[in-house]
C-alpha cells in the first residue's frame, strides 16, 4: 500500500504555526491580520466555503469580516466594495468568492483587488511575479501552493531529476502549479484532456498532479509504480450511502493506490491545505504591511 498523504495533518501543522506567527506579529507591532470575504448570491457550495474560511480565520486569531451581497448586486457596487476594502488598513487579505453571478465580470473584480491584498494570487501582477520566479514577493494561488508543500514533504524542496506531469491547464491550478514545480527544478509537462497518448505521458511522471475536473479519470495503468500522486479534483457523484452523493477526485483512488508510492485522498488531501495557505497568505500580507518579512517556505 502507498503512503497516504494526510492533508488534514499537514494543514493542522501549518495553522498551528500561523497562530503563533499572528500572535507574535500582534504583540510586536499591534497589527492583527485581517481578512475580508465577499460573497454574492446564494450558491450553496460557495456559502459552505466562505463559512469554513471565516471559521479558520477566527481560529488563527485574525480579524475577519464577511460581506454577503444579494444576487442582484451590480458590478459597480461590487467594485466600490472592493475599493473600500483596498483602502481599509485593518484588512490585509481580500477574497471574493467565485463564481460570481453572470452579470458581473469576474476578471474586472479580481483586477480591482489591490495586488498586495490579493491573497488568492489571481491578480495579473501576482501571476506575473510567479511566472518570472519572483516568489518572494508574489502571492501564489492557495491550491497549488498547498499541493507544493505536500510534494516537498515527500521529496524535499529540490526536485532536480524528477519528471512532473500536470493534467489540467487552468489559471487557478494547472499553470501556477507548473511554475512552482519549475522553480523547484522539476522537469514539467502540462497536459490536458486533448493531449495525445495521455496515459502514456502520465506513466512517465515521478510526480503526477491531477487537476482536470473529471471524476476518477486517471486510472491505475496511468501511474508509474512508486509515483507521488496529488489529486486536486473535487467532484460530487452518485453512489453514496442512503442514495446520497459522494466526493471523489480526478484519480480513481482505489485503483491508483495499488501503483502509487504516495497519494492524496479526496476528501482530506489537498482541500484542507487550500484554506491553510489562504491563511498563510494573509499573515504574509499583514507582515508586509507592518514592515516585517514572513516566508511561506517556513511551512514546507
Q: Which residues are documented as binding site for NADP(+)?
A: 168-170, 234
- Kindly name the residue from 56, 117, 120, 231 that is annotated as catalytic: 120
Contact between 70 and 101 (Cβ < 8 Å):
no
Contact between 175 and 190 (Cβ < 8 Å):
yes
DSSP 8-class letter at 115: G
Chain center to CA of 276: 9
- Kindly name the residue from 97, 206, 231, 259 that is annotated as catalytic: 97
Alpha-carbon distance of 86 to 128, in angstroms, equals 20
Burial zone of 54 (CB within 10 Å; 0-12 exposed, 13-18 middle, 19+ buried): middle
Neighbours of 88 (CB within 10 A): 14
Contact between 209 and 182 (Cβ < 8 Å):
no
Q: Is 97 a catalytic residue?
A: yes
Catalytic positions, written as ranges: 53, 97, 120
Amino acid at each position: 500500500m502507498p503512503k497516504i498523504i494526510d492533508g488534514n495533518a499537514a494543514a493542522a501543522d501549518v495553522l498551528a504555526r500561523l497562530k503563533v506567527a499572528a500572535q507574535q506579529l500582534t504583540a510586536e507591532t499591534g497589527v492583527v491580520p485581517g481578512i475580508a470575504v465577499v460573497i454574492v448570491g446564494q450558491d450553496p457550495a460557495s456559502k459552505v466555503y466562505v463559512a469554513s474560511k471565516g471559521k479558520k480565520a477566527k481560529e488563527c486569531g485574525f480579524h475577519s469580516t464577511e460581506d454577503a451581497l444579494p444576487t442582484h448586486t451590480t458590478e459597480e457596487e461590487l467594485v466600490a466594495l472592493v475599493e473600500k476594502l483596498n483602502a481599509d488598513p485593518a484588512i490585509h487579505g481580500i477574497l471574493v468568492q467565485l463564481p460570481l453571478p453572470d452579470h458581473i465580470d469576474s476578471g474586472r473584480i479580481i483586477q480591482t483587488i489591490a495586488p498586495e491584498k490579493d491573497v488568492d494570487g489571481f491578480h495579473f501582477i501576482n501571476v506575473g511575479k510567479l511566472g518570472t520566479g519572483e516568489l518572494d514577493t508574489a502571492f501564489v494561488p492557495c491550491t497549488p501552493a498547498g499541493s507544493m508543500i505536500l510534494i516537498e514533504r515527500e521529496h524535499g524542496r529540490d526536485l532536480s531529476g524528477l519528471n512532473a506531469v500536470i493534467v489540467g491547464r487552468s489559471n487557478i491550478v494547472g499553470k501556477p502549479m507548473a511554475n512552482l514545480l519549475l522553480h523547484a527544478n522539476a522537469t514539467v509537462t502540462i497536459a490536458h484532456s486533448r493531449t495525445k497518448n495521455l496515459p502514456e505521458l502520465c506513466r512517465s511522471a515521478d510526480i503526477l498532479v491531477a487537476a482536470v475536473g473529471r471524476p476518477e479519470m486517471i486510472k491505475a495503468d496511468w501511474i508509474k509504480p512508486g509515483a507521488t500522486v496529488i489529486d486536486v479534483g473535487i467532484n460530487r457523484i452518485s453512489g453514496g450511502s442512503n442514495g446520497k452523493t459522494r466526493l471523489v477526485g480526478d484519480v480513481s483512488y482505489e485503483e491508483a493506490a495499488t501503483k502509487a508510492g504516495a497519494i492524496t485522498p479526496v476528501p482530506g488531501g489537498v482541500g484542507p491545505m487550500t484554506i491553510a495557505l489562504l491563511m498563510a497568505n494573509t499573515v504574509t500580507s499583514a507582515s508586509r504591511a507592518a514592515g516585517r518579512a514572513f516566508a511561506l517556505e517556513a511551512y514546507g
